Amino acid sequence: MKKLISLILLLSLGIKAQEIKIGDQTWTTKNLDVTTYRNGDSIPQVQDARVWASLTNGAWCYFENKTANGNTYGKLYNWHAVNDPRGLAPKGFHLPTDEEWRTLTDFLGGEIQAENKMKSIGGWEDSGIGTNTSGFSGLPGGFRDSDGTFEDVIGSYGYWWSSSEKASSIAFARNLGFNPGDAHKDNLFPKLSGFSVRCLRGLKPDAADTYINRGLAKSHLQDYTGAIADYNKAIQLNPNYDTAYDKRGNAKAALKDYIGAIEDYNKTIQLNSKYDIAYVNRGLVKYYLQDYIGSIADYSKGILLNPNYALAYNNRGLAKYYLQDYRGAISDYSKAIQLNPDYADAYNNRGCANLYFKDYIEAIADYNIAIQLNPDNDKAYYNRGNAKYYLDDKNGACKDWSKAGEFGYSDAYTNIKNFCQ
């Protein structure tokens, strides 16, 4: 098999890099080093380990937060940045799927044979250097753990994201290692890991992932009908694509087609019984349909598959609350907060459960934190106002209701009319 290689200088969005044609694919030969999405929005740099570990949005860092490492190895990104609908790759490029990574290694003779061909001829410790006959020029840029810490692996390992996810908290990636045989040995990692990124030239209109990504972008713009059309196309191209059914279910749920959404989540789970996010999504739709027992069962399954799923605990708490299992609700909200101390909604929800038990001081403490984390939290202001009223702090209650009204919570004005005049 003859290897096809050509080098081209790429200038786009402030990126100066090279690209190389390997087989039928054209890869960038340097790690991505951008601070904005394709539309110009900034990607935050996050240095603090605790903040990194609780992120729900895209972010980047340098290895060990040292700019000098970035000069050599580029930036490390979490998977939220990879998956952001605003686009991490420069115009004319896309982030490779796991299948596209496999196409690369297959062309180079398989994962074991591809290892040395993909590794740069310098930068690796001692005998870890490669031949780089592919021109991929893989460098050992290290990684950031999902807990925000760094391990001393720079010079020994390099990790690169794919755009393919496995479940709510893990996605596919590829790695090259110092020791022979380390390449690609483990390819599932937490989405909060910080890895390097390479890009592929062009979009593939016949690839299911392209339609998935466009559907996600349309959903972000609340064009759910358009998103469903794209997910339909992805399913047409790959009828066994579990993620396509899950995402289509989300779009249907946004349009309040709850029965259709459940059908899609059922199909997702049929294709992949370990798809934790599909259980949680189906649980949410059952909650909307007031099937609280069914909702709890689905959340519990999602938690069984992913015990660190803070959203699942919070949502299960809501279902328990509506079944008047207030102690159980508090337990779930507390677990969600333990997993994510910055979870404003969980504090607000726990405050409501404490309010039921007339534990007004604890309720106010929870509402205080919810407001501290999200100063525009209209529900937390409204609920804190209720707690203060029960403590005969009428002045404080009216101030909170007024604040809730300013943020758009219309029921607050009813309380102001009835109790503050």
Q: pLDDT tens digits, residue range 203-249?
A: 654 568 878 888 988 898 899 999 999 999 999 888 889 999 999 99
Highest mean pLDDT among 111-125, 173-187, 362-376: 362-376
In a domain? residue 296: no
In a domain, 174, yes or no: yes
**Predicted model pTM:** 0.58
* Under 8 Å between Cβ of 283 and 302: yes
Residue 249 phi/psi, 5-degree rounding, is: -60, -40
Q: Is residue 370 domain-resident?
A: no
Instruction: Give the tens place of pLDDT for each residue, 257-274.
Output: 999 999 999 999 999 999
Q: pLDDT value at position 181?
A: 57
Structural domain contains residue 295 = no
**Secondary structure tally for the chain: helices H, strands E:** 18, 10
| 377 within a domain of the structure (yes/no) | no
Q: Identify whether the C-beta of residue 173 lies closer than 8 Å to the C-beta of residue 161.
A: yes
182 or 13, higher pLDDT: 182
β-partners of residue 177 are: 157
The structural domain count of the chain equals 1
Q: Residue 179 is part of which domain span?
A: 7-201
> Whose CA is closest to 358, among 386, 335, 333, 380?
386
**Distances in Å between the alpha carbon of 107 and those of 186, 187, 204, 206?**
20, 18, 19, 20
Output the six-digit token pair for 9: 């200088």
Element (H, E) at 402: helix 394-406
**Residue 338, H or E segment:** helix 326-339
The contacts of residue 369 (CB under 8 Å, 6+ apart) are 344, 347
Q: Is 208 exposed, middle or buried, given 0-12, 13-18 or 19+ CB atoms closer than 10 A?
A: buried
- Does the pLDDT at position 11 exceed 50? no
pLDDT for res 167: 82
- Does residue 310 fall inside a structural domain? no
The alpha carbon of residue 126 and the mean position of all alpha carbons in its chain are separated, in whole angstroms, by: 36
* 157, containing H or E segment: strand 157-165
